[in-house]
């Protein structure tokens, strides 16, 4: 049974999770060669997770694997939790390996290493800058302390308390009309340093469970706010998940290191 016969390996992984039914779900599908983009997108829609990750050995030699991510409706530039899930599958199958690298089309080379009982994932850090967005605030609600923006279409909406973030009821339909943008609502945490909720309705994901790419923005932002390079974070979705964040403030290549665990829930076959 091979890809030529329309049979693909399939893994369902809960990322940023230490037990099933928590963290963020990802489908992970190793390939022998790239399928047509419309087929990859159709599989992403069929799986109906926030992201489906596809990877295959990297022919360029720049990294171990080439990696792409699809939501149910679009291919995206960066996904943290599905990268963590992909690295988890690879390292679980190769106990002699301590790290794995991925070449991506828009986010460069990503690295994942074993760390204690879980993993640490290296993503580009995306520091946001202040930008007034009264239109977004009106759709999300509450009275934020400030709003910031990164050109990768990441919006940070900072509130004074965790309770304000937990009480938000955004207008998803109106936010979706703005396109494929992330709306990252955040505040100081209760049991962790930082709390967040993340909405991406324009990409087919109203509220994401645990968003690695959002923490690529939150890591440099909160490192500056807290005055230290590492902190604990909790994304307060229905499933919820914990992330340990560390900011590497390299002026030429700032990085966000995200620590977390994964659980493989399903191993099977996908038939085209």
Here the tokens at position 206 are: 């109203």
Among 54, 71, 63, smallest CA distance to 3 is for: 54
Here the tokens at position 141 are: 């609600």
Q: For the chain, what is the radius of gyration of the CA atoms?
A: 18
Among 160, 247, 165, smallest CA distance to 199 is for: 165
Cα distances (angstroms) measured from residue 143 to each of 131, 138, 147, 195, 237: 15, 9, 10, 16, 20
Of the candidates 51, 75, 181, 207, the residue annotated as catalytic is 51
State the DSSP H helix or E strand holding residue 185, giving kind and residue range, or none if neither.
strand 182-188
**What does the alpha-carbon distance between residue 93 and residue 50 come to, in Å, rounded to a whole number?**
24
51 is catalytic: yes
Give the DSSP letter string of 68-111.
EEE-SS-B-S--HHHHHHHHHHHHHH-TT--EEEEE-SSS-EEE
Reported as half-sphere exposure (CB side, CA atoms, 13 A), residue 199 has a value of 27
Here the tokens at position 88 are: 């988890």
What are the residue numbers of the active site? 51
């Amino acid at each position: 049974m091979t890809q030529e016969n329309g049979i693909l390996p399939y893994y369902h992984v809960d990322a940023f999770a230490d037990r099933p039914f928590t963290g963020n779900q990802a489908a992970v599908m190793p390939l022998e060669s790239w399928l047509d983009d419309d087929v990859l997108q159709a599989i992403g829609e069929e799986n109906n997770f926030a992201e489906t990750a596809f990877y295959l050995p990297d022919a360029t030699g720049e990294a171990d694997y080439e990696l792409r991510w699809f939501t149910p409706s679009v291919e995206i530039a960066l996904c943290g939790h599905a990268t963590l899930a992909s690295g988890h599958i690879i390292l679980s199958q190769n106990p002699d390996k301590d790290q794995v690298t991925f070449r991506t089309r828009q986010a460069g080379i990503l690295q994942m290493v074993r760390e204690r009982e879980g993993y640490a994932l290296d993503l580009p850090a995306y520091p946001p800058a202040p930008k007034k967005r009264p239109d977004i605030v009106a759709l999300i609600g509450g009275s934020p302390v400030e709003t910031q923006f990164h050109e990768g279409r990441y919006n940070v909406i900072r509130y004074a308390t965790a309770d304000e973030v937990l009480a938000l009821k955004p207008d998803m339909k109106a936010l979706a009309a703005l396109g494929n943008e992330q709306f990252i609502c955040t505040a100081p945490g209760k049991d962790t340093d930082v709390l967040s909720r993340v909405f991406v309705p324009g990409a087919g994901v109203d509220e994401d469970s645990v968003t690695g790419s959002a923490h690529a923005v939150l890591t440099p932002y909160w490192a500056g706010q807290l005055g230290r390079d590492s902190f604990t974070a909790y994304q307060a979705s229905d499933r919820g998940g914990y992330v340990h964040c560390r900011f590497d403030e390299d002026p030429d290549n700032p990085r966000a290191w995200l620590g977390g665990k994964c659980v493989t829930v399903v191993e099977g076959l996908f038939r085209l």
